[in-house]
Amino acid sequence: MTSPLTTNQIAWRAAQDIEDGAYVNLGIGLPVRVAQFQPPGREAIFHSENGILGFGAAPAPGDEDWDLINASKKSVTLKPGTAFFDHADSFAMVRGGHLDVAILGAYQVAENGDLANWSTGPRGVPAVGGAMDLVHGARRVAVITDHLTRKGEPKLVHRCTFPLTGLGCINRVYTSHAVVDIEDGRFVLREKLADLSLEALQAITGARLHIPGPVGELTAPEV
């Protein structure tokens, strides 16, 4: 059986859907990896809520400048035209609808598009932070995540049980097993691992998967 996608492969798959010239915010954690995998001939303008617009890829090991970091505290490089600004201006961009795409991680995504990506628990993300602005400020909001938790529980669910980040805000979910859109309050399956049966995928998904048309094959290179 085909192995589930790795975290880098999930990030690669999400990067393929970013349009040339799009303004994109990448959330803390796994989403920042998306910047590594821009398709040839396309260039996104990446926004970081700590005050950078248009930054470049991670520097080579040993070449880091730790005054230049993204929201995940990862070192980045500068590109011609990179801009710096304070938090007030950064969130004015978000709240003003100037971002085309936001890509976030998740604890849970509900079939109605609700997102939960923070927790009040001792080991969770301790506060909702800028995510609550991003999910309602960006024109399109996507999630990248493993399909299951470390305990083997579904992350795609009927209703979220974690504290909510936003209501009805997610458009698409990229997981280790599938690509799922959220349309009219339901999960719509677009792609899945080639030799994973629909029955097996449904068994590890916490809400019904709807299949209105052909389902593509979810593949990614070794990255």
Digit-coded pLDDT (tens) for 80-97: 999 999 999 999 999 999
User: What percentage of the chain reaches a pLDDT higher than 90?
Assistant: 83
The sign of the CA dihedral 63, 69, 71, 73 is positive
The sign of the CA dihedral 73, 109, 45, 89 is negative
Q: How does residue 129 score in pLDDT terms, banded at 50, 70 and 90? A: confident
Average pLDDT for residues 180-196, to the nearest whole number?
Answer: 97
Average pLDDT, the chain: 93
**pLDDT score at 11:** 97
Q: Rounded to whole angstroms, how far apart are CA atoms 216 and 58?
A: 32
Average pLDDT for residues 30-58, to the nearest whole number?
Answer: 92
Neighbouring residues of 188: CB distance < 8 A, sequence distance ≥ 6: 180, 181, 182, 209, 210, 211, 212
Burial string for 150-189 (b: 16+ CB within 10 Å, else e) reads: eeeebbbbeebebbbbbeebbbbbbbbbbbbbbeeebbbb
Residues 7-217: name the CATH superfamily: Glutaconate Coenzyme A-transferase (3.40.1080.10)
- In the predicted structure, residue 126 carries a pLDDT above the cut 70: no
Which residue would you say has higher pLDDT here, 37 or 71? 37
Indicate if 222 belongs to the active site: no
pTM of the model: 0.93
Which residue would you say has higher pLDDT here, 119 or 79? 79
Q: Which of 57-71, 134-148, 195-209 has the lowest mean pLDDT?
A: 57-71
**pLDDT score at 1:** 58
Q: How does residue 29 score in pLDDT terms, banded at 50, 70 and 90? A: confident
Q: How does residue 44 score in pLDDT terms, banded at 50, 70 and 90? A: very high
User: Which among 19, 49, 64, 191 is annotated as catalytic?
Assistant: 49
Q: How does residue 2 score in pLDDT terms, banded at 50, 70 and 90? A: confident
User: What percentage of the chain reaches a pLDDT higher than 70?
Assistant: 96
**pLDDT score at 70:** 87
Q: Taking phi first (over 0 means left), then psi (-120 to 50 degrees means alpha), and beta for anything else, what does residue 185 get?
A: left
